[in-house]
Amino acid sequence: MSDSVVPPPAQPPVKLETPQQFREFIDQFDTFLFDCDGVLWSGSQQIPHVGEVLNYLRDLGKSLIFVTNNSTASRQSYVPKFEKLGLSVDPSEVFPSSYSAACYISTVLQIPTGSKLFVIGESGITSELTDLGYIVLGGDNEEDRRAWHDEEYDAIVPDGDVKAVVVGLDRHINYAKLARGYHHLQVPGCHFIATNTDATYPSSRKLFPGAGSILAPLELMVGRKAVSCGKPHPAMMDAIEGVRGVDRARTCMVGDRLDTDVKFGVDSGLGGTLAVLTGVVKEEEIVSGRFGVWSKYYAESLGELIKAKQQ
Amino acid sequence: MSDSVVPPPAQPPVKLETPQQFREFIDQFDTFLFDCDGVLWSGSQQIPHVGEVLNYLRDLGKSLIFVTNNSTASRQSYVPKFEKLGLSVDPSEVFPSSYSAACYISTVLQIPTGSKLFVIGESGITSELTDLGYIVLGGDNEEDRRAWHDEEYDAIVPDGDVKAVVVGLDRHINYAKLARGYHHLQVPGCHFIATNTDATYPSSRKLFPGAGSILAPLELMVGRKAVSCGKPHPAMMDAIEGVRGVDRARTCMVGDRLDTDVKFGVDSGLGGTLAVLTGVVKEEEIVSGRFGVWSKYYAESLGELIKAKQQ
């Protein structure tokens, strides 16, 4: 990621404003991927008209997928959050990075169910992997959260049956988990998977260590990068495609960040990207292609799409 | 660190073999810095004649300093290790990275004693800082080692009185320590200090996460590098100079690694470097300047210096 100069695309980002523009935009796509915070809601408030827009798109037969880098939750545990904000959602429409990692392991890497996986992470990733039939070592197991005595570390040895080390945000990270992850990664062929690489994690209007910060020691020790299954990495799109069979040319990513959401759409070869101004990105950053990332479209808000219903 | 081509120095590394060569080598220096493992001992065995060589150098009035990146021990706690291997040593001759960080904070940064420092590390760094009169938060405090409940993290706030965050190897690392370190580093002017940046830490013939791996999440989150007070970083030499007042032109670093020991001597502007073949580095790496690092001298073993006594 850098601010180095990237030439603008032949067609600069188009601002959608009229009912006609919104109708033509919607007609191009069968599937819409949505970032959540800053797109559907801001803090604890639904962004105006978003609920109507989502229902309108569903009525038109569009597929909706809500993609989030949060790995601490599973699909099922995300539903109450939507409902609290007045948004109806089906668990099958939610695609957190915990599920993305599980799908990538299952459908892209095709690691057989019943295999052992070593997890550094919380209940979201543990439950998604267990639901798919994997044997999870580590994860949110209470025994693995306790403080170890110094003399116990020497007993750590690689387990040749561990097919992947899977790393997400773990607020119970400890030295033993890092050491065990490192030793398992010494086994030839052991895959190295991350739910996402965000350095920080927002909570209660403050920042805390994110999945990328839990991952950093392991990447440093083993001298290689994990495959990240979160935005902006295209492996997340491979995972979505593996379970949902989308047509990328007729799929649009909607987000409030150029460096994660829009970059994810561009790098995944999607037919479209829509940046909205209800979150992080500012209009001047969109038109100047900040981070060298150019969205195809932008709009004031996802709620504006309701204009498409006007005659 | 890379293997990119660096031109050899005008004078390639000189292999010391004859009594005359060893005498001329010794005469050039007043102070010798020694790496320990692979130079003084290998595993649990003293390298032959090393005890005699150290006593011979002391008899000649040379200053000896044993520099190690191990931050878990203090100077005092290192003495029994030397004695067990049949080597006499004075605590004032030992310079672990824990003490290096403490000296750097005290004599280079001149942070006043009585100031608060937040420590991620073990008893070595905690005791060295406490001995100098600092108030240590975190460190090897038992209370800071316990597992936290999720709801406790929200109470973490920056402390404006914390003058530095000091990071070393901590086998009781947890999420709260990382989050607290990150929040304290948001205070303008808060220094960011590491004992050393080794990714791994050897123990019981296996590798475990090192100080650099404990440091990696914080560096990622704050987007800047800590000042490292261990080899190969010259801040360690600044710390040594601050408390020992050495003449760099008449100081020689002796080590078994080009990428840490010899690089440390070269980058610190020392008058000489001596690589020995009793540890990691091989003769062909010395003569080819592996890592783009060239030692001034090399010898089969530190024990060979005893030849200087022959007439």
Write down the ipTM of this complex. 0.90
Greater confidence (B89 vs A7) lies with B89
Give the pLDDT of residue A311.
73
Using CA atoms, how far residue B197 sits from A51, A298, B171, B230, B278, in Å, is: 50, 44, 15, 7, 23
pLDDT over 60 (residue B252): yes
The string of pLDDT tens digits covering residues A143-189 is 888 878 878 888 899 999 999 999 999 999 999 999 999 999 999 99
> Least CB-CB distance to A146: which of B147, B210, B213?
B147
Rounded to the nearest angstrom, the minimum Cα separation between B182 and chain A is 8
Domain shared by B135 and B194, yes or no: yes
With CA atoms as reference, the chain B residue closest to A72 would be: B150
Give the pLDDT of residue B144.
86
Average pLDDT of span B184-202: 95
Determine if residue B198 is labeled as part of a ligand binding site: no
pLDDT over 60 (residue A6): yes
Determine if residue B282 is labeled as part of a ligand binding site: no
In single-letter form, the type of residue at position A209 comes to P
Domain shared by B107 and B185, yes or no: yes
Between chains, do A175 and B170 touch, taking CB under 8 Å as contact?
yes
**Chain A residues contacting B, CB < 8 Å?**
145-148, 150, 153-154, 156, 170-175, 178-179, 182-183, 199-200, 203-204, 206-210, 212-214, 216-221
Determine if residue A37 is labeled as part of a ligand binding site: yes
Domain shared by B128 and B219, yes or no: yes
Tokens (6 digits) for A195: 């739910």
Give the pLDDT of residue A5.
58
Average pLDDT of span A244-260: 96
pLDDT over 70 (residue A95): yes
Rounded to the nearest angstrom, the minimum Cα separation between B257 and chain A is 19
Average pLDDT of span A49-63: 97
The string of pLDDT tens digits covering residues A236-250 is 999 999 999 999 999
In DSSP terms, A275 is beta-bridged to A255, A298
pLDDT over 90 (residue B145): no
**B257 in the Ramachandran plot: left (φ > 0), alpha (ψ -120 to 50) or beta?**
beta
pLDDT over 70 (residue A2): no
Q: How far apart are CA B79 and CA B92, in angstroms?
A: 10
Domain shared by B105 and B203, yes or no: yes
Q: How far apart are CA A48 and CA A53, in angstroms?
A: 10
Crossing angle of the two packed helices B175-184 and B211-222, in degrees rounded to 10: 50
Asked if residue B224 is part of any domain, the answer here is yes
- Name the pLDDT band for B5 (thresholds 50, 70, 90): low
The string of pLDDT tens digits covering residues B204-220 is 778 999 999 999 999 99
**The last residue of a domain, from among B228, B245, B278:** B228
Give the pLDDT of residue B1.
43
A179: domain CATH number? Answer: 3.40.50.1000
Please say whether the dihedral angle defined by the alpha carbons of residues A13, A14, A17 and A21, taken in this order, is positive or negative.
Answer: negative
Active site residues of B: 35, 37
Asked if residue B85 is part of any domain, the answer here is no
Between chains, do B178 and A213 touch, taking CB under 8 Å as contact?
yes
Domain shared by B283 and B199, yes or no: no
> Least CB-CB distance to A147: which of B147, B175, B216?
B147
Using CA atoms, how far residue B154 sits from A203, A204, A206, in Å, is: 8, 7, 8
Asked if residue A291 is part of any domain, the answer here is no
Domain shared by B190 and B295, yes or no: no
Average pLDDT of span A189-201: 96
pLDDT over 70 (residue A295): yes
Between chains, do B153 and A220 touch, taking CB under 8 Å as contact?
no
pLDDT over 70 (residue B6): no
Q: Which residue has the tokens 């050491």?
A: A179
Greater confidence (A202 vs B119) lies with B119
Between chains, do A182 and B209 touch, taking CB under 8 Å as contact?
yes
Between chains, do A209 and B156 touch, taking CB under 8 Å as contact?
no
- Interface A-B: count of C-beta contacts within 8 A: 100
**B214 in the Ramachandran plot: left (φ > 0), alpha (ψ -120 to 50) or beta?**
alpha
> Least CB-CB distance to B172: which of A147, A182, A207?
A147
Tell which of A142, A153, A175 to mutate to test the B interface (max B CBs under 10 Å).
Answer: A175
- Name the pLDDT band for A1 (thresholds 50, 70, 90): very low
Domain shared by B125 and B167, yes or no: yes
Which chain A residues are within 8 Å of B210, Cβ to Cβ? Answer: 221
Task: Report chain B's mean pLDDT, rounded to a whole number.
Answer: 94
Give the pLDDT of residue B16.
98
With CA atoms as reference, the chain B residue closest to A209 would be: B179
With CA atoms as reference, the chain B residue closest to A210 would be: B221
pLDDT over 70 (residue B180): yes
> Least CB-CB distance to A154: which of B147, B175, B204?
B204
pLDDT over 90 (residue A9): no
Using CA atoms, how far residue A104 sits from A205, B101, B137, in Å, is: 31, 44, 42
Determine if residue B35 is labeled as part of a ligand binding site: yes
Asked if residue A233 is part of any domain, the answer here is yes
Q: Which of A205-209, A265-269, B206-210, B241-245 has the highest mean pLDDT?
A: A265-269
Q: How far apart are CA A157 and CA A180, in angstroms?
A: 7
Rounded to the nearest angstrom, the minimum Cα separation between A309 and chain B is 43
Domain shared by B137 and B187, yes or no: yes
With CA atoms as reference, the chain B residue closest to A222 would be: B199
Average pLDDT of span B274-284: 96
Rounded to the nearest angstrom, the minimum Cα separation between B244 and chain A is 34
Between chains, do A221 and B200 touch, taking CB under 8 Å as contact?
yes
Which chain A residues are within 8 Å of B120, Cβ to Cβ? Answer: none
Give the pLDDT of residue A188.
95
With CA atoms as reference, the chain A residue closest to B218 would be: A213
Name the active-site residue from A3, A27, A35, A131: A35
Catalytic, A35? Answer yes
Asked if residue A182 is part of any domain, the answer here is yes
pLDDT over 50 (residue A3): no
Between chains, do A209 and B146 touch, taking CB under 8 Å as contact?
no
pLDDT over 80 (residue B147): no
Rounded to the nearest angstrom, the minimum Cα separation between B156 and chain A is 9
Q: How far apart are CA A212 and CA B43, in angstroms?
A: 36
Name the active-site residue from A3, A27, A30, A37: A37
- Give the domain range for residue A66: 41-250
- Name the pLDDT band for B194 (thresholds 50, 70, 90): very high
Asked if residue B186 is part of any domain, the answer here is yes
Q: What is the percent of chain B where pLDDT is above 90?
A: 85
Overall number of domains in chain B: 2
Rounded to the nearest angstrom, the minimum Cα separation between A193 and chain B is 17
Q: How far apart are CA B110 and CA B123, in angstroms?
A: 22
Domain shared by B30 and B151, yes or no: no
pLDDT over 80 (residue B150): no
